[in-house]
Chain A
Amino acid sequence: MTEMNMVEAINFTLKQEMEADDDILLLGEDIGKNGGVFRTTETLVETFGERRVVDTPLAESAIVGTAVGMAIRGLKPVAEIQFLGFIYETMDQISAQAARVRFRSAGSLHVPLVIRAPYSGGVKTPELHSDSLEALFMHSAGLKVIMPSTPRDAKGLLCAAINDPDPVLFFEPLKLYRGVREEVEEERFTIEIGKANVVKEGDDITLISWGAAMAETKKAVQLLEDSNFSIELIDLRTIVPLDEEIIVHSVEKTGRCVIVHEAVKSAGVGAEISAIINEKALFYLSAPVLRVTGFDSPYPVATVENDWIPNVNRIVNQIKQVWELSLN
């Protein structure tokens, strides 16, 4: 066991996996000598050389598009998009190319590719550096989407992602990159893609969140417990495939659900979860499923971002709201 923050856990995992498998290479902007703008790839170029840690020209579509070509031909590329907001540049290569190769070739070709990108607000970045875009990729069949919220989860999930035969998007909450330290096993381990984590069991209300939003959500849980609410907190960890089983079980038990995510509300992942609960656990509900989310505007300027991001107050208020709306 070693104490690590998320950046260290990611760096450790990349190194460990690259040592285990020569077919893994990294490509992205400023990931070599500079070690990545957040230092997630620090020292890797010194260890593995420029053949395996490739500083690319500044072109996202090419980073992903060439990685797709590599993956088809037997490599396991891990591509970095410097900030998630820049992923629009490569939407075609992700959603229309990587996601569809297996389908298009009726299973004869596949793309074992990982695309890593930091996202999340609350750190006063310039425009398009903070956007949460997981719903875009949930809507593109053929991709997996992972959003860890702790160093240990980041390690286990990244290891699983690199060794997964399908294209995986791995979104890293930059707000939590250095915020939390915890004991992480040094040995190689994987956390199953598609399994949510019940962070805390409880009886009154199911609270579902993931990635960056887990920070405020956890704080809210603390406050609510002090006011005697029994909260069941679920960290989704994986957006695709979605762990419907855990969600439905939990809601069957608690009868109430609040979903917290940083992405905008309309057609967000929260809407999907709410629909699932509607389809599979409606008669267990004693109150409508509520969401605490970003607002339906582009991610705002730094001076107002803390009002825009779901914060402790908004989360606590919605929980109380659900409680008040309850039938029993």
Chain B
Amino acid sequence: MNWIVQDKIDIVPVRRLNEQGELTEDTVLSENDQLRVYKWMVKARRFDELAVKFQRQGKIGTYAPLSGQEAAQVGSAFALEDEDWIFPSYREAAACFVRGAKVSSFFKYTMGHVHGGILKEEGIFPVQIIIGAQALHATGSAWADQYKKREGVSVAYFGDGATSQGDFHEALNFAGVFQVPVIYFVQNNQWAISVPYHKQTGSKSIAQKATAYGITGIQVDGNDAVAIYETMKQARSLAITGKPVLIEAITHRMGPHTTSDDPTKYRSLEDDKSWAEKDPILRFRKWLEKRDLWNEEQEKELIDSIDEELKQGYIDASEAPAASLEDALGHVYEKMTPRLLEQLSELEGREKGQ
């Protein structure tokens, strides 16, 4: 009998750049683009560190750190075209920046602004909180592109935990049946809050789940920006012809799940250390430095200019007019219902001291 044996499903992750900063296979990424990718990753790391600090200082609300996942996010978003759309979760600031999102939007979002994180112009759907729900939105968005004969792909970003949700499976199943230009980009950062990958699923990889739905699956070293870029480029050209792709990027979140989480409760220091050696930014820098494309002085200049930009982003966000209840009531329906109008006038009455 031909039983399918899970463990025998062999998947070899795509790799280009090893931990020593050596390129093991060619890349189409030009030197200029290599530098751009590197700069985006550094900006993401600095933003992340600053956001955590700001949260500790009470300047912003809860924040979900992304450090460790810069290569996965930057490499993948960098491979997209202007007409593409991304459907991010709460941990995808880096991917959003590459798409053109403003730093101030992200700060605004964490500061509780109605107008924070709305990035329609950049082809970015508002941040998703319900785990996995955006897999379906991306599928529908891709469907709309195909229906209207527009050239573009839709990309859903989510974590390994999301692959346990029904919406993930329903999305892949629809994609397999309807063959729409969609890419599911999973950052398998090993943890869904405190639950490790092996307690999330019994399958050896997430990539192999694609097989069951009749779509293409691929696993890639998520800390290797070059490999991610190459994979995403190819996935995009497949998807645009109506062949959906599931990409599993193996990576690791270095920090806590959010600023209110304490990872020492569920993972060991050794574990963190071994992943620190795989730091996506370090290996990329080594690679650039070996070829004299980068040096200490450039690094310093870059950091200074990023810090300046981040500071400005925070100032812009803090100077934005405070969110009001009117904003909230005004965006429920296209036209306010009589009841909302009544509630708004109650509110106005109260403000006038009536």
Contact = CB atoms under 8 A, between A and B. Distances in A.
Q: Do A and B bind each other?
A: yes
Interface residues of B, number: 42
A241 B170 contact: no
B269 interface: no
Contacts of B339: 241-242, 244
B136 A62 contact: yes
Nearest to B154: A69
A245 B337 CA distance: 12
Interface string A65-84: 11111111111010000000
B174 A62 contact: yes
B184 interface: no
Interface stretch (A97-105, A305-313, A317-325): A97-105
Given A102-B332, A103-B331, A165-B334, A65 B140 contact: yes
A161 B167 CA distance: 26
Interface string A89-120: 00011001100011111111110000000000
B173 A66 contact: no
Nearest to A64: B136
A56 interface: yes
A279 to B, nearest CB: 10
Interface stretch (B143-151, B270-278, B283-291): B143-151
B215 interface: no
B140 A166 contact: no
A70 B143 CA distance: 7
Chain B contact residues, majority secondary structure: helix
B137 A68 contact: yes
Interface residues of A, number: 47
Contacts of B331: 102-103, 105-107
Nearest to B145: A73
Contacts of B332: 102-103, 141-142
A55 B98 CA distance: 37
B128 to A, nearest CB: 9
Contacts of B148: 23, 73-75
B115 interface: yes
B147 A51 contact: yes
A230 interface: no
Interface of B: 85, 87, 114-115, 118, 120, 125-126, 130, 133, 135-145, 147-148, 154, 166-167, 170-171, 173-174, 177-178, 327-328, 330-334, 337-339
28 contacts: A56-B174, A57-B173, A59-B174, A62-B174, A65-B140, A66-B143, A66-B171, A69-B136, A69-B143, A70-B140, A70-B144, A71-B140, A72-B137, A73-B144, A73-B145, A75-B143, A77-B140, A92-B167, A93-B133, A105-B126, A106-B114, A107-B331, A109-B125, A109-B126, A165-B334, A166-B334, A194-B338, A242-B339
**7 tightest Cβ-Cβ pairs between the two chains A and B:** A69-B140, A65-B136, A62-B170, A66-B140, A73-B144, A241-B337, A69-B137
